[in-house]
Amino acid sequence: MEYLSGMRTGERIAARRAELGLSQSELARQAGISQATIGKLESGISSGSSQMHKIARALQTTSDFLTGETDDPSLGAAPVPTPQMIAEQLGMTLIPEVDLHFALGGGNYVDGPVSTTLVPYRTDWLKRITRGAQADVILTRGDGDSMVPTILDDDDVIVNRSDRIITKQDRIWALGYGDLVAIKRVRRLANGMFHLLSDNPNVTPIEAYEDELRVIGRVIWIGRRM
């Protein structure tokens, strides 16, 4: 098939998939991603994806071809493996370790994650604890004693950023309140306010209105070095 330089990414994926006789669902299965991702790319709803290297591998071509940087679909020299590629081969997922200054009794609010480290966790385990939303998790660390004994200083804390609506009582959340970033147990009150609770009984609860809170995500796992 002749590929035209004006073809968008989704058109190239669809054409290459047809050449190989693959359905969208089969391509998604071989690439290890959702069919919805393939569908959005082919329909033009999405113009790109962080999973392009997986799609290219399943289509026996290169990411450069799918994104239009070359019109030659043949595989060239083997790409230099990225940390993500190596992790996938080992059945691992890399989680960004984020320093949000989660000082559990105080700290400075940082707008957005600041991360230089990716930490590997088993993909199958992450799928169980995140119910499939592992792309939205971040790793941070406990700092301080306001959540003792539940969270100790320097504990690993995994936060699911896709869960930002507080609907159940007494779950633990990473959130911003004023210039404070903290991990707190949250309880909704009848008057439209929230109690931000520390598991340490010596720390006074904070009362806050919903519009005063910025929910970063829900704490879904805590790990501790022995």
Tens digits of residue pLDDT in 150-196: 999 999 999 998 888 898 899 999 998 887 888 999 999 888 899 99
C-alpha span between 63 and 79 (Å, rounded): 10
pLDDT of residue 174: 92
Given 51, 66, 81, the domain boundary residue is 66
Q: Has residue 207 been placed in a domain?
A: yes
45 shares a domain with 124: no
pLDDT tens across 206-220, in order? 999 988 888 989 999
Q: Has residue 109 been placed in a domain?
A: yes
Q: Has residue 25 been placed in a domain?
A: yes
C-alpha span between 76 and 61 (Å, rounded): 9
pLDDT of residue 106: 43
Do the bridges between strand 156-160 and strand 206-209 make them parallel or antiparallel, or are there none, so unpaired?
unpaired
Residues 216, 174 contacting (CB under 8 angstroms) = yes
pLDDT of residue 147: 94
Q: Kindly state the average pLDDT of the residues 134-161.
A: 90
- Whether this prediction's pTM lies above 0.85 is answered by no
121 shares a domain with 179: yes
214 shares a domain with 181: yes
209 shares a domain with 107: yes
CATH code assigned at 39: 1.10.260.40
Q: Which residue from 170, 175, 177 is spatially nearest to 157, judged by alpha carbons?
A: 175
124 shares a domain with 172: yes
Specify the number of domains making up the chain: 2
State the chain's mean pLDDT as an integer.
84
Residues 50, 96 contacting (CB under 8 angstroms) = no
The one-character DSSP state at 145 is: S
Residue 196, domain extent: 89-223
pLDDT tier at 103, thresholds 50, 70, 90: very low
What residues contact 96, with CB distance under 8 A and at least 6 apart?
Answer: 113, 115, 117, 118, 119, 138, 139
